[in-house]
Structure 1
């Protein structure tokens, strides 16, 4: 049962192709591509949004993790939920739980962060293509054909490995693929390789979203022209300028800051302070000098931020009406049963007792430890700690 009308993602790609264009996509960014930011970028030409990467370990086991990691509303569409997974029972259970609220599901095989690699997640999965295929095939078999199933990867060397994996995933029934043009070992300063992505695109028939170095609409148009891709995904570029896909502004305009202020004012307690403040920091990098950015980053309360905006830009929150967040209800029965079956099959002496209130999951706990704020604004804007991939 779907709580809100489903959007057919395959149709979106076909419609864009028929019109000689491509989908503009906001990337899955940990902590950042949440409901309020998705609302903002949709105001400026973004066609498709992803949730932040969500840990299946936590999502299956913890109601707290679900509430923190995912929220949606009737206007939050089209939407793809992205999961980090390496266990089939956790991945399947997570998708079953979130299915009523999203238009598709995506498996993250592209996160290069050390903590993810150590846990066998993200890019580590590229070393185990059979597992990636099993995870993907399991979801495809268990859900309607018009529910989008996709995978996000990075290019590998030799490129033949990437092409082979993409062709195998196509046989698994993916709706589309997303590929970042850098390998897991390449640094942000190194350019994304559009020529590699073009070769991959020519080797598959499913839609391809290209990711890497999209900082303007001109960049996106160029990637579409060179690669022949069906979509272009922006991450760091759209954080710095949420109006990127509109092509109207080179940097974030004051009107966009106003929209963000109004959305967050209406969201009230539904948006965490750190998320609220950090988006401003990204957007206002070019709007205020370094000294004032340091002052802004030291602010501790929403009221102080509103005062700062009033003083610097004569900008105040304006009341707007937004659809209420959907109260998500998750059926945990199937996951609990699967966990019991695994315990029995493996003859565990101490079975893992399932309770959605008992623990938020080890990955959720570890990530909470890492969620430390950086007081130096320049380092804050450039660091990889936020998993913007």
Structure 2
């Protein structure tokens, strides 16, 4: 779940919510962000970046953040517990990103042990100071400063973090908890977790009143889910293959993305063969000769060659 200080208005009953690609370690790189934008995703997030490393290392900046069109909404997802570091990192990316998002939700030990992620949920005053200093450093109202948080129990802890205390019992549904939080604050709320279809996203937004719906694993498996496709369509696979070449996506990530996308349409024996393939050419050949309809093979091969 996210609190976002300026990213859009709350949706009207007849409009759809904004659709978001969640930050994912390794996977939300530029090529994949460009892919999901073709299928109704409005806003994308980078993988998690340690803000201090980002400030101090040109190699880290080059490896972890890239963009190709300043007109598209991309948010840098930072991990830190230092208000000055977050503010400085936000200022650094403000010329090419639409906002920053602070990791206050990750429960992993290596993140929490540094005082980052969900360890910050017990420090609402620190979080408020981090947002305040970042906003002072980057006063542009079109630059978003947001927090990724987890629903905490009892629910009043979460509502208090969202600046208004309200009682709720632990056995309330997630949808009711989101409604309580959404009604308690005057900033847009983005719901995240378990979305696998466009209709699920629209229904959740209607039930809770949140401004946006975010997906991670659902988009890994089906990058076109927000456009209404039940499984990854052929043109989506072809677009990913093209974009990965254009943006120099690492081979291992390329292979892993395709494993996620193609798993629902491959037989168990095809999956075993595909998972053992080594090298982009072998993967592309397998897709062209095994998964693409015969009439599309030559036209796709011509498109692939034109990229080189």
Normalised by the shorter chain, which TM-score bucket? 0.7 to 0.9
Aligned pair 1:193/2:193, yes or no? no
Q: Distance in 2 between matches of 1:320 and 1:14?
A: 44
How does 1:130-169 map onto structure 2 within 5 Å? Answer: 130-143=125-138, 144-167=140-163
The verdict on how the C-alpha distance between 1:140 and 1:287 changes in structure 2, with shifts beyond 3 A counting, is same
Tell me what 1:313 maps to: 291
Instruction: Quote the RMSD (CA, aligned, Å).
Output: 2.3
The verdict on how the C-alpha distance between 1:259 and 1:163 changes in structure 2, with shifts beyond 3 A counting, is same
Following superposition, the deviation at residue 204 of structure 1 comes to 0.9
Aligned pair 1:73/2:68, yes or no? yes
Q: Secondary structure at the match of 2:257?
A: helix
Aligned pair 1:38/2:33, yes or no? yes
Q: Secondary structure at the match of 1:209?
A: strand
Contact 2:11–2:17 at 8 Å: present in 1 too?
Answer: yes
Q: Distance in 1 between matches of 2:211 and 2:19?
A: 9
Question: What does the per-residue CA deviation read over 1:311-368, in whole Å, with 9 as the maximum and x for residues that have no partner?
Answer: 212454525999xxxxxxxxxxxxxxxxxxxxxxxxxxxxxxxxxxxxxxxxxxxxxx
Tell me what 2:237 maps to: 257
- Select between 284-293 and 312-321 the one with higher mean Cα deviation: 312-321
- Select between 108-117 and 74-83 the one with higher mean Cα deviation: 74-83
Corresponding residue pairs, total: 289
Q: Secondary structure at the match of 2:76?
A: strand
Question: What does the per-residue CA deviation read over 1:75-95, in whole Å, with 9 as the maximum and x for residues that have no partner?
Answer: 661111110111223222211
- Select between 191-200 and 306-315 the one with higher mean Cα deviation: 191-200
Q: Secondary structure at the match of 2:47?
A: strand
Q: Secondary structure at the match of 1:239?
A: helix
Tell me what 1:236 maps to: 217
Contact 1:24–1:45 at 8 Å: present in 2 too?
Answer: yes
The verdict on how the C-alpha distance between 1:311 and 1:76 changes in structure 2, with shifts beyond 3 A counting, is farther
Q: Secondary structure at the match of 1:265?
A: helix
Structure 1: gaps (5+ residues): 1-8, 169-182, 184-190, 323-389
Tell me what 1:99 maps to: 94
How does 1:353-364 map onto structure 2 within 5 Å? Answer: none
Contact 1:38–1:76 at 8 Å: present in 2 too?
Answer: no
Tell me what 1:334 maps to: none
Question: What does the per-residue CA deviation read over 1:28-84, in whole Å, with 9 as the maximum and x for residues that have no partner?
Answer: 111111111111111111111111111112111211111111110026611111101
Q: Distance in 2 between matches of 1:219 and 1:141?
A: 38
Q: Distance in 2 between matches of 1:231 and 1:321?
A: 38
Q: Distance in 1 between matches of 2:90 and 2:242?
A: 32
How does 1:261-280 map onto structure 2 within 5 Å? Answer: 261-267=241-247, 270-280=248-258
Q: Distance in 2 between matches of 1:193 and 1:147?
A: 29
Q: Distance in 2 between matches of 1:218 and 1:149?
A: 28
Contact 2:51–2:86 at 8 Å: present in 1 too?
Answer: yes
Structure 2: gaps (5+ residues): 165-169
Given candidates 220, 243, 267, the residue that maps to 1:289 is 267
Contact 1:192–1:213 at 8 Å: present in 2 too?
Answer: no
Q: Distance in 1 between matches of 2:36 and 2:176?
A: 28
Contact 1:129–1:165 at 8 Å: present in 2 too?
Answer: yes
Contact 1:27–1:50 at 8 Å: present in 2 too?
Answer: yes
Q: Distance in 2 between matches of 1:34 and 1:76?
A: 17
